[in-house]
Structure 1
Amino acid sequence: MYAVWTDRLHEGMILLYAASILLYFLDFLHRNRKANKAAFRFLSVVWALQTVIFILYMAHTRRFPVLTLSEGLYFYAWALLTLSLALNRLLRVDFTVFFTNVIGFFIMTVHAFAPEKVSQGAGRMVSELLLMHITMTLIAYVLFSLSFVFSVLYLLQYKWLKEKKWSHRIWRLNDLAKLERLSKWMNAIAVPVLLLGLILGLWWAYLRLPAIHWLDPKIVGSFVVLLVYSFLLYGGERRHMFGKTLAYWNMAAFLIILINFFLITGLSDFHLYY
């Protein structure tokens, strides 16, 4: 019965997600406030369904569900949607929800085909330290995703201003300085969160996996992500990089995250996401 109900909720959520993105795209092309409001309502329903499924699954498994690739992707999509809706209400940056949830919809689609089985030995190795490591790392990735979206919006606004395309879009986006600042803020929060998450993960591995190979591709890849974003954060604060250059580098850094999450993870000898 649990599986049937969650499957039905999941199917309805995917349909509403797709409808919401299509309506946001319509608003993006032709300023349509009715489409924008309908899209926001659909997305709010998606968030409610995601939250219900998340709570039901947590009650069913009696643990915080982030141990498999499928669970991790679901938590990532839920957290991304939650933060995008909150930022939309607080900051009023148009198109943020649209671009952010294109990523979210992609992640939910991948989630539908991701393996659900917990890796061998994971059940007996679960601890609060491990759950904190995974959760903090995923939250950092969500923040990096939002930073990526603000960089995309920055480049779009820069292009429209340079070409003097005085359409409705240019007036609905904030000024370039604010978009750059928001992107840097997301990175400034995400970098220490990721650092703490990696430290917890290393400590857990040291305690529970004494034979671990410390040059495992997943460990190396995660610290490459941390170093790249730390470099961007330092360069942005020192004004060695700014504006369009910083936006392009920030987008390239997000590509490294995707490679680390979807490709390098499969090369790991110990990581729980297979």
Structure 2
Amino acid sequence: MSSIRWVYDITIILYALSVSLYFVDFLQNNRKANRIAFWLLSIVWVLQLFVLFLRIVDTNRFPILTPTEGLFFYSWVIVTLSLLINWFFRVDFFVFFTNIIGFVLMAVSWFAPNNYVSPSFSDQLINELAIIHITMAFIAYGAFTLSSILSIMYIVQYNMLKEKKVGKRLWRFESLTKLENLSYLLNVTGVPVLFLSLVLGLIYGYKMELAPAIFYDAKVISSFIVLIVYGYYLYMKVAREAYGRQLAYWNVAGLLVILINYFLAATLTEFHLWY
């Protein structure tokens, strides 16, 4: 555990430096700071992966069963997706805005209650179905989070254009069309992943004889609300051909639903310890 604490501390420090340098780039259009921040973030990703490996060795299970582990894994998913999107699509400022949330999640995970998981309960959860269910849920939440951040960037750039605040910072936001399309792509990915995760979760709950309590659990209900919110986003985009600020504001509202789902509903759940 001491080795994990040491690696965790180093990761937090490097993560803070990376976010700080991205902030410098945002204020001063400093490309050098941006490059250093990107490589620091890449090191953070490697260290986070190393922490996950150490936790697997220490607990002999995939580390996503407690609030601490869940928040840390959520942060790792956000870092991973933000690096992939930045690598393939190159959206300036996106990594900065995204990793403000990623850093907060990781910092909070260090202070979250690391609930003890009894061996019997741990044995019940450690099977392929449960692990796939939990992992897919975090991937979906990560995709939705990044999608909502892109919508926030859309709204910010739209207002800058409306107020004619032309400058280097404006042009580095990418086009409104690109931001909207990437946001849509992430939601197209997240909705089916979350749907499959919930189906697997219900099947697992039935196998573990958790029914009918599982259908009244706050976490299950709020997760379906998240699915409905982002599913309705896709409906507006595809069926009603909505676009622009209407979609962006709905997507940002979706992020608030995720936060409620993650932090508030998690305090009311009876058996969802991990998120």
TM-score by length of 2: 0.95
Which residue matches 1:159?
Answer: 159
Which residue matches 2:238?
Answer: 237
Alignment partner of 1:174: what SS? coil
Q: Give CA deviations for 1:100-148 in whole Å, capped at 9, x if unaligned.
A: 1001001011101112234454213122111111000000000001101
Q: Give CA deviations for 1:5-48 in whole Å, capped at 9, x if unaligned.
A: 21111111111111111111111011111111111121111111
Inter-partner Cα distance in structure 2 for 1:273 and 1:60: 17
Which residue matches 1:254?
Answer: 255
Inter-partner Cα distance in structure 1 for 2:241 and 2:84: 31
Inter-partner Cα distance in structure 2 for 1:114 and 1:128: 26
RMSD: 1.4
Instruction: Give yes or no for contact 1:119–1:273 (8 Å, CA) kept in 2.
Output: no
Which residue matches 1:168?
Answer: 168
Instruction: Give yes or no for contact 1:27–1:35 (8 Å, CA) kept in 2.
Output: yes
Inter-partner Cα distance in structure 2 for 1:251 and 1:40: 25
Q: Give CA deviations for 1:183-239 in whole Å, capped at 9, x if unaligned.
A: 011001100000000000000001103454122211111111111110111101124
Inter-partner Cα distance in structure 2 for 1:160 and 1:52: 41
Per-residue deviation, 1:177: 0.9
Inter-partner Cα distance in structure 2 for 1:168 and 1:52: 38
Which residue matches 2:209?
Answer: 209
Which residue matches 1:93?
Answer: 91
Per-residue deviation, 1:258: 0.6
Which residue matches 2:39?
Answer: 41
Report the count of equivalent residues. 272
Q: Give CA deviations for 1:142-195 in whole Å, capped at 9, x if unaligned.
A: 000110111011111111111111111111121111111110110011000000
Moved over 4 A (4+): none
Per-residue deviation, 1:59: 2.1
Q: Which amino acid in the other structure matches residue 227 of structure 1? A: I
Instruction: Give yes or no for contact 1:122–1:272 (8 Å, CA) kept in 2.
Output: no
Instruction: Write the mapping of 1:1-274 to structure 2, written as runs, cut at 5 A.
Output: 3-120=1-118, 121-126=120-125, 127-213=127-213, 214-273=215-274
Q: 1:75 to 1:210 in 2, by over 3 A?
A: closer
Instruction: Give yes or no for contact 2:92–2:173 (8 Å, CA) kept in 1.
Output: yes
Inter-partner Cα distance in structure 2 for 1:195 and 1:252: 19
5+ residue gaps, structure 1, are none
Per-residue deviation, 1:4: 1.6
Instruction: Give yes or no for contact 2:64–2:274 (8 Å, CA) kept in 1.
Output: no
Aligned sequence identity (%): 48
Alignment partner of 1:242: what SS? coil
TM-score by length of 1: 0.95
Inter-partner Cα distance in structure 2 for 1:148 and 1:47: 22
5+ residue gaps, structure 2, are none
Alignment partner of 1:143: what SS? helix
Instruction: Give yes or no for contact 1:180–1:243 (8 Å, CA) kept in 2.
Output: yes
Inter-partner Cα distance in structure 2 for 1:101 and 1:212: 39
Per-residue deviation, 1:269: 2.0
Inter-partner Cα distance in structure 1 for 2:243 and 2:42: 35
Q: Which amino acid in the other structure matches residue 230 of structure 2? A: Y
Per-residue deviation, 1:94: 0.2
Instruction: Give yes or no for contact 2:148–2:252 (8 Å, CA) kept in 1.
Output: yes
Instruction: Give yes or no for contact 2:68–2:110 (8 Å, CA) kept in 1.
Output: yes
Inter-partner Cα distance in structure 1 for 2:91 and 2:80: 15
Inter-partner Cα distance in structure 2 for 1:78 and 1:26: 23
